[in-house]
Amino acid sequence: MAISDILNAVVELDRIAVVENVKTAIIDGVPFDDILNKGLIASMDVVGERFSNGDIFVPEMLQAAKAMQAGLEVLKPHLTCDVLTQKGTVIIGTVKGDLHDIGKNLVSMMVEGAGFNVVDLGVDVDIEKFVSLTQTHNADVVCLSALLTTTMPTMAKIVEAFKESGLKAKIIIGGAPVTDAYARQIGADGFSDNAPGAVELIRRLIAA
Amino acid sequence: MNRVLFNIDREVLDQIHTNSLELLKESGIRFPNQEALEIFKRHGFKIDGEMVFFQQKDIEKALETIPETFELHARNTANSFLIGDDSYRMAPGYGPPFIIETSGEMRPALLADTQKFCKLVQTSKALDFNSSIVAQPNDVPPQTAHLDMLLSTILLTDKPIMGSTSSKACAQDSLELAKMIWGNTDKAVMLSLVDSLSPLQYAQKSVEALLVYARAKQPLLIHSSCSMGSSGPITIAGSLVISNACSLAGICLTQLVNPGTPIVYGLGGSPTDMRTGGYVNASPEDAKHTAIVTALGHYYHIPCRSQGALTESFCLDYQAGMESSMMLTTAALSGAHVCLHACGTYGSMLAMSFEKFLADEDLCCAIKKLVKPIEFSKENFAMDMIKRLGTSGNYLLEQHTADRCRSEFFIPDLNIRNIHSKWVKMEPRNMDQRASQLLKKRLSAYEKPDIDPSIERDLIKYVENKK
């Protein structure tokens, strides 16, 4: 069993093959870290790149993420918790007053697919909840989403609340009316207008 | 001339309606609002948590009490009009938070932009009423922005207006301002848009606003739409059912609160761009929705709303013209009564443009001309003149032509109809630059409509006190 078979099965959206290939790799004695990093996580990098190039579509990317997750479920019992959280913890949610979550869910799945520990707080999330759960999970990055111009100012309040609480987690923002200029204006650490871009941004911020 | 040119099979409409009723009965619609839930409960509806379930008889009863037409009153009575007749009534963009300049730069909209748009609405040959958020200003606090926009709309235009539905307080403020002009009235003086939140639910604040307006018997535009493939099914059939169920549920609530509350019915459906996950409008799928939704409005005997001159483009190019025209033409020929976003929007309704606004006005005027019934009268057949002139006649010399030369044809303000030798010498030649020139002219010709000074003082005072 070659690691590339696992990678290719994810890229081909073949969930059954991913599960089978991971099982075989485990039996064959392939190092678990390799199955995770060179197989499953690397596959989502390929998928993300193809998505960015317009070669695969969103539902296909999400099917790939599901296939990757199915493989991960098989592998999980063999991994220590550290392996899953060592890449970093990312908290994500749509800010208070806003109930839109299509973009947020896309980012959530892509970030999870990239091997990060994702805590998705859902929609209409209180400022206090972002602060307290960032502390609880010792999160590295917090992703804020807003579709409405009326809820965008809440992002600024969250940045402010994080400063006041002395939290060091990086904050990145996104959503249809959100811009790079707005991110700079409110003192956020970054902005992305697409899901793979958010993954790249998170990687850069955590590596920094 | 029958304005409904796209005929949708009655059987298809029955199917959409039946499937919507099935969803309403079995899946229910979420109303996260205690007051609304109490109303449903009082009327014997089955409720589970925040989910409300509807029976066929509930929907049928609600549809019975909705007027087929109603008059929307303007501050200047000459600008009042009927909704639901053969006319197609248009309002400009609704909600974009950005402005795109001719340079392509996108910047946050300011209150001054909103006010400039109000002046264009007032002087527009194409637009019949004003939107309450022609551009969402970023330089005023969001909590009170609705007051600034309403005040600008009321003072700078005397055409019919729309109310704010951002929250209960916004709706109450809108009604308070209306009262200062019309007093306690049950006349329809403000049309307000309530959107559902696909799939199968309403946001709490939208329900709050719906209740405020319905209690005051002010007309509501109940609109549901989904992003096909993400917040609703990817297929048009599925999208229509999910949105129709939601609109019917909202409409039912309005009639429980106040039977006879005038309604404009609307549904939309726009594809999710499968390459990005983004919302796409101005597609053939949007246009098809418009055609069927309009047919559904006629099926229910409720005035119906269409989408407007939408585009995904960010400049006045072929794409902007093609998409805007496809959307508006389809809606007009389907028999839509009311149009939002008729002028000025770019990029999935994210931005407004002054130049696109003026170009869209030409399109709207052309569309209105297109759907205006042809008069097959004796004078218009002009048989005597045709016989008298025979083969050698010059119709330009005729009084019949002179009498009609300014009214018979659509005459564009921006579109060119030049000969090539003149066109090459034209300065400026590009449409966006010509529109910029026209914009200056339009704004300099603007005159603020008259208003009783004491009413103006009261309106300003109310807004200042609330800030």
pLDDT tens by residue, B43-65: 999 999 999 999 999 999 999 99
Q: What is the pLDDT of residues B429-454, one digit of tens each?
A: 899 999 999 999 999 999 999 999 99
CA dihedral B278, B325, B236, B4 (to 10 degrees): 160
Whole-number Å distance between alpha carbons of B450 and B448: 7
**A198/A166 same-domain check:** yes
Confidence (pLDDT) at B1: 41
**A200/A138 same-domain check:** yes
**A164/A202 same-domain check:** yes
A177 and chain B: CB distance < 8 Å anywhere? yes
Confidence (pLDDT) at B184: 84
Pairwise pLDDT comparison (B74 vs A105), residue with the higher score: B74
Q: Sketch the domain layout of chain B as residue ranges.
A: 64-371
Q: What is the pTM of this model?
A: 0.88
CB–CB of B199/A101 below 8 Å? no
Q: How many CB pairs under 8 A join A and B?
A: 40
**A53/A68 same-domain check:** yes
A195 and chain B: CB distance < 8 Å anywhere? yes
Q: Which H/E stretch holds residue A141?
A: strand A141-145
**A61/A119 same-domain check:** no
Confidence of residue B320 (pLDDT cuts 50, 70, 90): very high
- A182, closest residue in chain B (CA to CA): B108
Task: Please say which residue of A83, A109, A140 terminates a domain.
Answer: A83
Q: List the structure tokens of B177.
A: 């301002």
**A121/A200 same-domain check:** yes
In the numeric block, the tokens 């998170």 are attached to: A202
Confidence (pLDDT) at B392: 80
**A173/A125 same-domain check:** yes
User: On the CB side of B213, how many CA atoms lie within 13 Å of its CA?
Assistant: 34
**A165/A103 same-domain check:** yes
Contact B97 A149 (CB under 8 A): yes
Whole-number Å distance between alpha carbons of B310 and B286: 10
CATH of the domain at A195: 3.40.50.280
Q: What is the pLDDT of residues B108-136, one digit of tens each?
A: 999 999 999 999 999 999 999 999 899 99
Domain assignment of residue A107, given as a range: 87-207
**A98/A173 same-domain check:** yes
A2 and chain B: CB distance < 8 Å anywhere? no
Contact A177 B98 (CB under 8 A): yes
**A7/A66 same-domain check:** yes
Pairing state of beta strands B98-100 and B89-90?
A: unpaired
Mean pLDDT of chain A: 91
Q: What is the pLDDT of residues B332-391, one digit of tens each?
A: 999 999 999 999 999 989 999 999 999 999 999 999 999 888 999 999 999 999 999 999
CB–CB of B331/B339 below 8 Å? yes
Burial (CB count within 10 angstroms: exposed 0-12, middle 13-18, buried 19+), residue B370: middle
Mean pLDDT value of segment B393-398:
90
**Which residues fall within 8 angstroms of residue A35, CB to CB, at 6 or more apart?**
A3, A6, A22, A25, A26, A75
A150 and chain B: CB distance < 8 Å anywhere? yes
CA distances (Å), A19 to each of A7, A47, B53, in order?
Answer: 11, 18, 41
Q: Give B275's contacts in chain A (Cβ within 8 Å).
A: 54, 57-58
B contact residues 102-141, partner A, Cβ 8 Å cutoff? 106, 136, 138
Task: Please say which residue of A83, A116, A138 terminates a domain.
Answer: A83
Confidence of residue B104 (pLDDT cuts 50, 70, 90): very high
In the numeric block, the tokens 């994210």 are attached to: B350
What is the ipTM, given to two decimal places?
Answer: 0.76
Query: Which residues in A91-118 are b (16+ Cβ under 10 Å) and which e?
Result: bbbbbbbbbbbbbbbbbbbbbbbbbbbb
> How many folded domains does chain A comprise?
2
Contact A58 B277 (CB under 8 A): yes
Q: List the structure tokens of A27.
A: 């039996």
Confidence of residue A85 (pLDDT cuts 50, 70, 90): low
- B230, closest residue in chain A (CA to CA): A102
Rounded percentage of chain A residues whose pLDDT exceeds 90: 63
CB–CB of B228/B279 below 8 Å? no
Q: What is the pLDDT of residues B6-21, one digit of tens each?
A: 678 899 999 999 999 9
Pairing state of beta strands B263-271 and B220-228?
A: parallel
Going by CATH, does the domain composed of B64-371 fall within 3.20.20.480?
yes
**A126/A147 same-domain check:** yes
Query: Which residues lie across from B46 on neighbouring strands?
Result: B53
Q: List the structure tokens of A133.
A: 């759960």
Whole-number Å distance between alpha carbons of B61 and A155: 45
Query: Which residues lie across from B194 on neighbouring strands?
Result: B222
> Angle, nearest 10°, between helix axes A3-11 and A42-52?
40
Pairing state of beta strands B70-72 and B263-271?
A: unpaired
Confidence of residue B276 (pLDDT cuts 50, 70, 90): confident
Contact B350 A194 (CB under 8 A): no
pLDDT of B153 above 70? yes
User: Which phi and psi (to 5°) does residue B110 adopt?
Assistant: -115, 165
CA dihedral B355, B359, B360, B362 (to 10 degrees): 150
CB–CB of B127/B48 below 8 Å? no
Q: What is the pLDDT of residues A26-84, one digit of tens each?
A: 999 999 989 998 999 899 889 988 988 889 998 898 899 889 989 999 998 988 766 66
Q: List the structure tokens of B136.
A: 């969402």
The angle formed by the CA atoms of residues A23, A29 and A34, to the nearest 5 degrees, is 80
Please give, rounded to a whole number of angstroms, the shortest distance from the CA of B231 to a CA of chain A. Answer: 7
User: Which phi and psi (to 5°) does residue B220 adopt?
Assistant: -125, 140
Rg (CA), chain B: 23
Rounded percentage of chain B residues whose pLDDT exceeds 70: 99
Strand boundaries in B84-177, DSSP class E: 89-90, 98-100, 106-108, 161-163
Whole-number Å distance between alpha carbons of B447 and A149: 31
**A52/A101 same-domain check:** no
Nearest to B142 among A57, A106, A150 (CB): A150
Task: Please say which residue of A83, A118, A150 terminates a domain.
Answer: A83
Contact B279 A176 (CB under 8 A): yes
Q: What is the pLDDT of residues B219-275, one digit of tens each?
A: 999 999 999 998 999 999 999 999 999 999 999 999 999 999 999 999 989 999 998
Mean pLDDT value of segment B270-290:
89
